[in-house]
Chain A
Amino acid sequence: MTWTRRDFVRSGSALAAAGLIGFDGRILTDAYEAARAYRPFRPLLQDPDVRALAMTALQAARDVGTSYADVRITSGIGRVTSVSGRRIGLRRISGSLNFGVRVLVGGAWGFASSTIFTEEEAARIARLAARQASLNPWGYTETIELAPAPVVADGEWETPIDLDPWNYRIQDQLELQLEANELVMKIAEAGRPELQVFSTFNFSMNDVVFASSEGSYTQQRFHNFGGNYVAQVISRDRRNFGSSSPESFRTGGYGWEAVDGIPWADDVEQAVEEAYMMLGAREPDVGRYDVVLGSGAVSSILNSTIVRALEYDRVLGYEMHGGGTSYLGPPEEALGQFSFGNPMLNVRATGSVPRAAGMYKWDAEGVAPQDYQLVREGVLVDYFTSREFAPQLDWWYRRNGMPTGSRGTAGSASSTLTQVVAPSIAVMDPGEEAVSEEDMIAATEDGIYFRDAGFASVDPPMLNMQGGGGGLMYEIRDGKLGDLLSRPQYLANTLDFWRSMDMIGGPDTFGYHGGGTQKGDPLQLIGRTVGAPAARFRNLNVFTYGRR
């Protein structure tokens, strides 16, 4: 813990000067042997050196007059492999070790971070953060006061998984992946030469320590499995394209169980069939249709038009030059008054969903996420906030007998980036009655069914959307599925769209899907999980963009 940047530079140069390193870069000492005895991953949990580094940063911040400080330390490891057909494209193991210090001086934020993991550097970074804050001319005029938050003096949590992926090797990972690809290759070789298969398996583990000048100290270990496994086909004339993933391929808060013992063979053929079916899809006739969206399709449009619009920093205009603003403001006019005009619409935050990507026990400010309502029966009743912003809603919380404070929705893509408002899990509640997708289709005369997760393009204030499908989309005629459609798009005003929702799926149609947000400077990409039921929307404007 006493290694400094100057030390390593000096010792490296000394080695070179001593002639131990030849020009070909190889050293003729026992360093090579030493490298065999490496420590594979630097765990942070229960490491006294890590606590010492955090305390050094907090003390250095205190010494220069900060009113608040927090430090986040991350040690991570990731293992990613990509295979295209039978060809291995990527084998990579990545490590990260970094920390960031955030301070308040006279009511202004300063932030600094580094990858040099020494106490000396921790103190330097804390002072640098303080200097950033103290030079902000607005610091003493518009004071930031953090909402009170419970101190978590010694918190520890780990993403629950079944099998530790780090007990397996990258070779084991590649073998399972090659087996998976082989299932598709076999089909391709049996007379479908247009068929291709790609897969990426990506395991990660991140230890994150949070310590604050208020006395919180939390240690969390996050496990995640990400990637893809896709069968793709291009028509011989290269004009049409289809791709699909086996449904058994799941990503999120998984360990090795995500890839081992999964019966991909059972549904890989279906994925291939679907990819081929997409080649034969026809373009829809432009017009107005009732649209039935599966859970994944609702999830993506919900994230793009409501969940992101509920981020309070966005509402305030913090993203005005970038991602945009939000129609859900200003808060004093919108809270309790803004209505989507649809009592079926209920949106809430939750902290705990098994296997959800991005799930945490404490957020990037050390606050536990709460289960709470944001849209109740179509009416805006709360926002995603942080300790900085929650006091601005004090008037609303008091009026409603609710505590003023962060609900635990501060996030950050890395300890080297500042905290922003970014909830990890948002949910639109399903209906209470057991309405299925089939029921909705049967009740629809002239419509389009988007089965899978799609994409949404929304304007900066999030008021004008274009939704599109991924995967399979069918026409609906007199309550029955008809032809497969190619690239139908629906265009709507956000408020009209949610008002037009007239059927909502029951709990059996509900599912969780990956979503995310992009915000901040520099831009942070923060993943989240968004749960939603299937639903039907009336009389949407559908078009397509054909070839030119």
Chain B
Amino acid sequence: MSRNPGATGDILTKEEAEAIARKTLSFADPGAETIVNVSLANSQNTRIARNRITTQRDASLGGVAVTTRLDGRIAQGTTQRFDDEGLMQAVKWAEDSAREGPGGRQEMGRLIQPRDYPIPPGLWSEATREVDIPDRITKAVSAIGRADGYVAAGTLDLSINSMLVANSAGLVAYCRSTTGTMQLAARTDDNTGSGWAGKAIYDFGEMDTVAVADRATDKAERSRNPSAVEPARYTVILEPDAYAPMIQLMMQYHMDLPSAQRGFSVFADPNGGTKVGKQVFDERLSFVSDPMDPDAPFCPFDGAGVPFDRTYWVQDGILRNLSFGDATAIERGLEYPLANPVSVRIQPQEGTELLTLQEMIETCERGIYVTRLTTGFADFRRLVFTGVTRDGTWLVERGRITRPIKNMRYVDSHMYFLNNLEAVGEPVLAATGGFMIPPVRSRDFNFTAIADAV
């Protein structure tokens, strides 16, 4: 596993991970149903601030999670240790928790039967796995060099991951992946202009940090000396990264069927039940999660081995699916639960005319161009957000950007602006990775106040 002293990027091969999983299973009560999840990830970070590298980090983080079902009770034990004592400890924690006490019977969780999973193309890159410290430094140095004359801060992160799930029914599923991201903020020396850009990759060869720096400095330069516009409802042109965090928060917290049934999610229907089958977004938009997505692949199963099949959560604007656990799967006569991978693509309907950001500007009478928004919940249950624009906001008039404007606070949600859609573009991989998001132009975005600061 170790290539040389000081090497980075070690993960577990399938054989190594399987050996740990099998050993863990050997410690388990033969009468229990047991799932073992083994992972080892290597995370590498280069932090940039004040135009220099401030911190270089490398972390190898292992973990084993044991899920046990005994007498109808489900419990988990986890450890970061790969030695026998650590593995036994995780098994014992789970089994001691499940063996007795309250609960039982109603806790459903069938084991996934042995099966084959597809290997998503592009999810693993040898080039990324082989990156050594000087490679990261070289990339960071080029970005910093390119931002000369500006104050720059950012981060270059790589993650090399391995994960294996095995269970007492004989399932063995292995997945490895390489991901990375580069983000850079640049501000002008007079402190009036600020720009930001980011890019996610799977293959380090595509990590063009110079392009990221160029985009950030260009935005900083063009946003010097902004002037205010009256806060009001405006047409907005949103770059994908401006609203990607909203999509992520929706996927994380609102896609669960039981929450919607109980009324706690944005997909609860006011008249009872859920909004499944109802229109929730513009009919030109679909939300689809697919581990085989050629632009944003991810591991094809969850921590318990539940397959991530290609799933349309929203199809042509209509809510089609919400995720559910095994109790619902059994009720519906399904082999396994509908798991939510969080990663998602917003796909424009076939035949929709796709505009570039430039074309959205050229065809806009009056609007605001937004690079980036801070995003916090204003109302969790209704999925309404508040925050401010940052790092490059401009007024668009009669088909062109006319001037940089001061930052503004907003209170709004993609639940609204993806219904007020004027134009949509080709989805791109968000700077955080994991999400394929198109640029959009929408009516009536709600700006509530000036936030006069850079």
Q: Cβ of A545 < 8 Å from any Cβ of B?
A: yes
Residue A398 lies at the interface, judged by CB distance under 8 Å to chain B? no
CA distance A401 to B25 in the complex (A): 64
Chain B CB within 10 A, most for which of A5, A116, A174, A522: A5
Task: Provide the residues of chain B in CB contact with A21, threshold 8 Å.
Answer: 22-23, 25-26
Contact with B along A113-142 (1 / 0, CB 8 A): 111110000001001110111011110001
B103 touches A24 (CB 8 A): no
Would you give the shortest CB distance from B260 to chain A, in whole angstroms? Answer: 10
Residues of B contacting A319 in the complex (Cβ-Cβ under 8 angstroms): 153
Known interface pairs A26-B28, A114-B60, A133-B56. Does A98 touch B80 (Cβ–Cβ under 8 Å)? yes
Q: Is A399 an interface residue (CB 8 A)?
A: no
Question: Known contacts A88-B102, A175-B102; is A25 also within 8 Å of B79 by CB?
Answer: no
Give the residues in chain A near B50, CB-CB below 8 Å. Answer: 316-318
Which parts of A1-56 form the interface with B (CB within 8 Å)? Answer: 3, 5-6, 8-9, 11-13, 15-16, 20-21, 23-27, 29, 31-32, 34-36, 38-40
Q: Are A5 and B59 in contact (CB under 8 A)?
A: no
Closest to B26 in A: A27
A-B pair number, CB within 8 angstroms: 324
Most buried by A among B43, B47, B100: B47
Q: Do residues B82 and A8 form an inter-chain contact, with CB atoms below 8 A?
A: yes
Inter-chain contact B59/A545, CB cutoff 8 Å: no
Asked whether any CB of chain A lies closer than 8 Å to the CB of B333, the reply is no
- Given known pairs A88-B102, A111-B57, the reply for A12 and B19 (CB within 8 Å) is yes
State the interface size on chain B (CB cutoff 8 A): 119
| B185 touches A (CB below 8 Å) | yes
Using known A-B contacts A196-B262, A464-B388, determine if residue A35 contacts B92 with beta carbons closer than 8 Å.
yes
Instruction: Count residues of A near B (Cβ-Cβ below 8 Å).
Output: 105
From B2-10, B281-289, B422-430, give the one contacting chain A.
B2-10
Judging by beta carbons under 8 Å apart, are B60 and A92 in contact?
no
Within 8 A of B (CB), among A465-498: 466, 468, 487, 489, 491, 493
Q: Is B338 an interface residue (CB 8 A)?
A: no
The segment out of B118-126, B133-141, B312-320 that lies at the interface is B133-141
B residues within 8 A CB of A135? 56, 133-134, 137
Q: How far is the CB of B296 from chain A (nearest CB, A)?
A: 20
- Partner of A138 from the list B53, B154, B262 (CB cut-off 8 Å) is B53
- Does A455 sit at the interface, judged by CB under 8 A? yes
Contact of B6 among A131, A487, A520 (CB under 8 A): A131
CB of B359 within 8 Å of the partner chain: no
Residue contact A464 to B183, C-beta cutoff 8 Å: no
**Contact residue among A6, A127, A521 (Cβ-Cβ distance under 8 Å from B157):** A521
Q: Interface-forming stretch among A235-243, A244-252, A272-280, A350-358?
A: A235-243
Q: Does A397 interact with chain B (Cβ within 8 Å)?
A: no
Q: Do A91 and B75 have beta carbons less than 8 Å apart? A: yes
Q: Is B437 an interface residue (CB 8 A)?
A: no
Of the residues B61, B269, B379, contact of A98 by C-beta under 8 Å: B61
A237-B1 CB under 8 A given contacts A26-B30, A137-B141, A317-B50: no
5 A-B pairs with the lowest CB-CB distances in the bound complex, closest first: A12-B19, A27-B26, A25-B25, A171-B101, A132-B56
Residues of chain A whose beta carbon lies under 8 Å from any beta carbon of chain B: 3, 5-6, 8-9, 11-13, 15-16, 20-21, 23-27, 29, 31-32, 34-36, 38-40, 87-88, 90-98, 100, 108-117, 124, 127-129, 131-133, 135-138, 142, 169-171, 174-175, 178, 196, 232, 234, 237-239, 241, 316-322, 324, 327, 416-418, 455, 457, 459-461, 463-464, 466, 468, 487, 489, 491, 493, 520-522, 543, 545, 547-548
